[in-house]
Structure 1
Amino acid sequence: MNLEIPEFNSKIYLSYKTIGGKNNLDQLVNDAFRLTYKHTYKAEYINERDITTENRVYGLYYDVGGNAASAKQFFVTDSTHHFLRGALYFYAPPNADSLAPVVQFLQADMEHLVGTLKWR
């Protein structure tokens, strides 16, 4: 599922996987890491922040600095059944200075989404 944000000409791409079989947790985490770090050639930095909520949601936020295509990414899991990855993209050239206010605004929304997530 993807969240279109037309007023900011952007989209949060969301990928959900059920853990099990070919979708083992280690592989899903490695894929999330690999997809984020593909941006290193344009990124000035990539900072990781832990995610832990009272709803058994664990993972990492990635803050990707500079003119990378995706400035904000995350993955979350309950470690046994559910895995969700998200990445913010704009339909515009990735100019970090110009996009900074919108990125900060949408970061709060992404953090709210993750902070209120409950697994079923």
Structure 2
Amino acid sequence: MILRRNIVLLFPVIFILLFAACEQSGTPLPRGYFRIELPEKEYRTFDTIFPYSFSYPVYARVIPDTRPNAEPYWADVYFPGFRASLHLSYKTIKNEDQLFEYTEDGRNFINRHIPKATGFNETIYTNDEANVHGMLYEIRGREAASPMQFFLTDSTRHYLRGSLYFNVTPNNDSLAPVIRFLSEDIRILIESMEWK
């Protein structure tokens, strides 16, 4: 009888020990991200009735902006494989004050990213032959909403601002390979820009 009672008490203890031994170790594993397939680089020209033209990758689409607040010649360069869009805002310059206003608006927009940014890179672009001048801003930081922005102008008539956005929760650490990949495309767009 004592043996039977000991076996009955021992059975739950053995069961609990076996169950506890089957758990995974308490060591946390690093979070993994999906492998992102990057397409081959190939470009085509956007040349329509818009007052500007540029080269963009074949894996992107240029879509005129039809939102209610959109102005003429605004467009999005949409990268469906990356759920990303490069928003292009065009303005006609009528006087020197407008150029200053557009440039300051662009800088203020970039400055809104400072609380989430860990750093900035600024690159000056000058193409005297095409009369295209501007600045590219690369915004570093895990939660920066727009990792790349730029403006281009001829200082007398044309002003174009671009901002790269992803249609995902910002985590630029995991998006870093895609941001690097698309930064090449944005540089090609800037370097190939021509006014009409």
Shift of 1:94: 1.3
Partners of 1:76 and 1:83 within 8 A in 2: yes
Please give the TM-score of this superposition, normalised by the length of structure 2: 0.59
1:11 aligns with 2:85: yes
- My pick for the range that moved more, 52-61 or 108-117, is 52-61
Distance 2:147 2:182 in 1: 10
CA offsets, 1:54-110, max 9 Å, x none?
Answer: 311101000100020000000000000000000000011111211001001111111
Give the aligned residue type for 1:65: R
1:71 aligns with 2:178: no
Aligned to 1:24, the other structure's residue is in SS state helix
Distance 1:73 1:22 in 2: 22
Partner of 1:84: 160
Distance 1:22 1:113 in 2: 26
Partners of 2:150 and 2:162 within 8 A in 1: yes
Counterparts in 2 of 1:27-46, with a 5 A limit?
A: 27-46=101-120
Please give the TM-score of this superposition, normalised by the length of structure 1: 0.95
RMSD: 1.4
Partner of 2:181: 105
Distance 2:150 2:96 in 1: 21
1:60 aligns with 2:135: yes
Shift of 1:23: 7.0
Residue ranges of structure 1 left out of the alignment (5+ in a row): none
Aligned length: 120
Residue ranges of structure 2 left out of the alignment (5+ in a row): 1-74
Question: CA 1:21 to 1:50, structure 2 compared with 1: closer, same or farther past 3 Å?
Answer: closer
Partners of 1:17 and 1:23 within 8 A in 2: no
Distance 1:19 1:87 in 2: 20
Partners of 1:70 and 1:87 within 8 A in 2: yes
Partners of 2:145 and 2:165 within 8 A in 1: yes
Query: Higher relative contact order at CA 8 Å, sep ≥6: structure 1 or structure 2?
Result: 1
Identity of aligned residues (%): 43
